[in-house]
Structure 1
Amino acid sequence: MTNDFPIALAGAKAETLMWARPNEVEHAAQDQLRNISKLPWVHGVRVMPDVHLGKGATVGSVVAMKDAVSPSAVGVDIGCGMMAVKTSVMTSDLPDDLGALRSAIEEAVPVGFQANDGQARVVRRDLKLKVAFDKLFGGFEELRAPRLEDRHKRAIAQCGSLGGGNHFIEVTSDDDGIVWLMLHSGSRNIGKEIAERHIYAAKGLDHNLGLPDRDLAVFLAGTAEMDAYLHDLYWAQDYAKLNRRIMMATVKGVFARFFPSVVWGREVNAHHNYVARETYDGVDLVVTRKGAISAKSDEFGLIPGSMGTGSYVVRGLGNEASYCSASHGAGRKMSRTKAKKTFSVDDLARQTEGVECRKDAGVVDEIPGAYKSLESVIEAQTDLVSVEARLRTLLCVKG
């Protein structure tokens, strides 16, 4: 299957290529992309099909800069991403009522504002996780953002917790009836604290004072400020990946109590808010992905929809025109506020029929109708990824 993407964004300064039709992208998001493209350090911008307006930088954008980095082009949930594991369990093995399994997962994994009582229990039992945990927190005191000392205990307690918003834990099945476990989360409060402190510092630098949007403030290569930000950012990215590993180990433990003979298969653990140093057009660049996954050749990734609509396991095609990137999900088509005004609890129940999940006012803003069509988003990037599996949601845990 072929498509007519990418499309160049009119009015952009640095080359800005879109895997989305301009008439389907809100004007505010297009203006935001143009502002990003006009930064003097930007080599190019790539726009994914799940694009929508974000804080400072657009969600669904990939920004390649020369000798600079913008913290807002990563976002405050540093290292947010997805993890999935394939199981040997078939849908025919599942009970008709998944309520007990959902309750057990919710009891084992802290969700919303909850946290572990100190270190997550599974870390104490799993040597590999304990080694990774001790190594990560052995570097906590070396973080360079100010006033983080009193966040140490909270960061420990939240490592292995879900959070709220669009974060989730799911039990899904592919077209062959094979069950997969999946979850979505990031660096929790510590990532937010790190990001906000560095964004504040960037806004005060002289070279950022004349920017069209101060939220796009950058750090410059060769400065102590950029070194400090990247040092802390890489730590937060490691925290986010470990957070997902700990949660998945916990969920696997719960699942194994229900299905003792389960055998674990392929695992995928990938960021979609992060920074990497990469080379394109023969130029060494700092690439920020905010709501985008890496899609290098044969690299596995995960593209989720909204609660109840399922997800895709994909394999990257290594398309350098997109800076080897793809979308991170379906993408919102309306704000949380508008979703709450538009939809009711009854709407939520109808749109999540057949899925074991919360169906109350607290998650109406996460209703499938507030998101773009996942199938359309996948169809728009057939030159970026190939589909390995289509996952159907059976059970969804939300914060």
Structure 2
Amino acid sequence: MAVNLKEKNADELLSIDGIQVFVGQAGVKKPNHDDLTLMVLAPGNSVGAVFTQNRFCAAPVHICKAHLFDEDGVRALVVNTGNANAGTGVQGRNDALSICRAVAEQIDCAVSQVLPFSTGVILEPLPADKIVAALPDVKPVTWADAARAIMTTDTVPKAASREGKVGSNHTVRATGIAKGAGMIHPNMATMLGFIACDANVSQPVLQLLTQEVADMSFNSITVDGDTSTNDSFVIIATGRNGQSEIDNIADPRYQQLRDLLGSLALELAQAIVRDGEGATKFITIQVDNAASREDARKIAYAIAHSPLVKTAFYASDPNLGRLLAAIGYSGVDVNTDTLRMWLGDVLVAEEGGRAASYTEEAGQRVMNEAEITVRIDLRSGRDSATVYTCDLSKEYVAINADYRS
């Protein structure tokens, strides 16, 4: 049911020198299903990561935060689906560590050089023994296979690649995969994202870049307003493209790399919204000329989170007063007499009310489309923000009502 989203073929995705990808079957939730992914990194890489801000963050998030800045660097990432290992207390952290230990023994590295990730049902014990038993049998695969293996309620695997100049004499290749369809809301928005590139970047600089890329992409989407316990976004730089190290954000190559990876991450983030559980519409909410970016984001998210707005989009109903109501309760001090709002190319509101040129027929024409842009001009400053969301359908209720069955 994904909105204008197609699965990428393996030959559309770039291989990245310095990283090997493996997939296996641990039977965490169901048998004969790829639910275990292992990424093995060559020495000399750097890794940046950002995680959920949910206070009830999952056990693997705790372990990742402890391992990320190990002085010897990261050598492996291990991902399981079917169980989030969240709300599992001390035992959950011990289970995550036991998986790290098994990976470390398998590839001959320190336990602290392994980052674990989990996604799936919350508040259920992780069958770590199944994952440990499956690790020796993982098989080398393509990025496309890995994108499928990390899916839960996703209907389409999410993967993309980019290649571009960074500096005058070097090209950077990057490939990313992500999963997520529900429980999607920023402060990471249950979502996992992994990007690997062959750039040469120091770890502190890569960490800053990861945070910036996340804000440009995964922190600008929402499906249902629920912030997951497990959200994680990782960028790996293998350092294999032959360039000198980017060790300062003032380096002109930093901006070039940020733009390249930001474009890739945004494609993955938008793919999550396009595949939102039960989604039939992909909606862009753009707020311009705000007094601050924070104000613009507050208004965009007030609209994006409104069940009344989202169900109107699902019904293709131009009941557009719901959008104005959301702006009004956003908490932003707006001048309703000067604000203007468009639905697609149709001016809907101005001077505190319905635009004189607006017609129901024009609004209906836009609401019938699968991709819709809402644009608000606050006329109170120069800052802007864009948020991507989807509609709220009957299927969303069905998917989440049946999630554990």
Return the TM-score normalized by structure 2. Answer: 0.25
Task: Look at both structures and tell me which one has the larger radius of gyration over its CA atoms.
Answer: 2
Greater relative CO, 1 or 2 (CA 8 Å, sep 6+): 1
